[in-house]
Amino acid sequence: MVPTRIILWLVLVSPFLWHCYMANEEVTCSRKVPMRQRREVISIKDFGGVGDGKTVNTWAFRKAVYRISHMRRIGGTMLYVPPGVWLTGSFNLTSHMTLYLAKGAILKATQDTRNWPLMDPLPSYGRGRELPGGRYTSLIHGNGVRDVIITGEKGVIDGQGEVWWDMWRRRTLRYTRPNLIEFMHSSDILITNIVLLNSPFWNIHPVYSSNVVIKYVSIFAPHDSPNTDGIDPDSSSSVCIEDAYISTGDDMVAIKSGWDEYGIAYGRPSYDITIRRVRGSSPFSGIAIGSEASGGVNNILVEDVSLYNTGIGIHVKTNVGRGGYIRDVTFKNVYMNNVRKGIRIVGDVGDHPDEYFNRYAVPRVDGVNIKDVWGVNVQQPGAIEGITSSRFTRICLNNVKLWGSRNMPWTCRDVTGAALGVQPWPCAELTTSFSQGYC
């Protein structure tokens, strides 16, 4: 028998012990896809790979992945990439594998754009994002896979995107540029401890996927590189993005769910997404939702974010023709320094796939909570501009201080909600009472 006084002691003290335990534990959403050791390890060298920076290793990677998918070893297989420069074209990953980049391993995309593989457009976009028709396959691609890890000792994946950016600038692109890493229809994906450089287009694109963790990742592309978004979760759920540094030529993170009539028809929302402890800079948005959000976006938490030298800090953007909804989004504890605009929630951003979009497909924006925001060197504090036929509702700003030299005002229209402790004062459309339960 355990003496009663010990039971009593445990009952009294355990909440305190639990609290101490929790205080040492970092808040995280990353446990949903844990790191796994693989039973079997193979090296890219076993498949004829040469890491001299000149040999093209596409076939070595494809053979290695083919081997993993056909042997199907219990516990999965690690494909080890030793130190060296490994030039390669696009290749697919398969289920139950880890792509491991050793310290000093650089996986470099070839610049052979003419032989780059093409694939069908995403059904939720109806066409390539940039140009009608198909699109180039991402450098590292996974379709219908599960239990896949991309990791290592801060190894580098370099997209060598300059040739693609130049084609975009000269308007000589024939199809939409490739992403650096894309997973479609996949689940249980972990991307951690790697560095991404110079993506041709978006860096990491999980689409129609769930249970995705992206943690301890650094992403760099020049600020003048076109459309080099950092991480774009698209029609995906249960996504955790944590502890990232992102400095690119377009949005650091943008949550999407398809484009106009194609996204509405496909109807696949993005939901249950956490973005935490992300730092960086971008000439466009820090953290964005939209503008392609036609399948709907809901239940998003963004917290502990620091933005420097950025265009728009917090950006919720949609457009007439998008349809869908953006609902239950929380931003909290955001620091900004040197941004053009602190907060922008607007309904007139972005282009259309073709002329068949529905002018009556107006999006709903409802329940956007922004609290504990501190900005310095902010040129304009913010704009909240809804759509006349679909006012933005339950927009709540709480303890938002955006300081700048110019003293520009907020601009608001077609919006209802509340504001408390906001400086400079936002606008008359937002009430100052918090009797509404949502704020």
Ligand X SMILES: *[C@@H]1O[C@H](CO)[C@@H](O)[C@H](O)[C@H]1NC(C)=O
The catalytic residue among 147, 250, 251, 366 is 250
Residue 398 near ligand X by CB under 6 A: no
Residues 260, 323 contacting (CB under 8 angstroms): yes
3-state secondary structure at position 262: helix
Which of 69, 92, 379, 398 forms a contact with ligand X (CB under 6 A)? 92
Which of 32, 45, 62, 332 forms a contact with ligand X (CB under 6 A)? 62
Instruction: Tabulate helix, strand, coil % of the chain (nearest 5).
Output: 15, 50, 40
Residues 271, 208 contacting (CB under 8 angstroms): no
Provide the minimum distance between the beta carbon of 66 and ligand X in the complex, in angstroms, as a whole number: 7
Measure CA 267 to chain center. 20
Q: Which is nearer to ligand X, 82 or 117 (CB)?
A: 117
Provide the minimum distance between the beta carbon of 253 and ligand X in the complex, in angstroms, as a whole number: 25
The pair of three-digit structure tokens given for residue 134, joined into one six-digit string: 């198909």
- Stretch 119-148 residues interacting with ligand X (CB under 6 A): 141, 143
Q: Which is nearer to ligand X, 144 or 421 (CB)?
A: 144
- DSSP readout, 289-357? E-S--TT-EEEEEEEEEEEEEEEEEEEEE-BTTT-SEEEEEEEEEEEEEEEEEEEEEESB----SSTT-
Measure CA 344 to chain center. 18
Active-site annotation holds for 251: no
- Stretch 143-202 residues interacting with ligand X (CB under 6 A): 143
Q: Which is nearer to ligand X, 92 or 411 (CB)?
A: 92
Provide the minimum distance between the beta carbon of 439 and ligand X in the complex, in angstroms, as a whole number: 45
Provide the minimum distance between the beta carbon of 184 and ligand X in the complex, in angstroms, as a whole number: 7
Size of the site for ligand X (CB under 6 A): 4
Strand 237-247 and strand 270-281: the pairing is parallel
Provide the minimum distance between the beta carbon of 186 and ligand X in the complex, in angstroms, as a whole number: 10
Tell me which residues touch ligand X (CB under 6 A): 62, 92, 141, 143
**Catalytic residue numbers?**
250
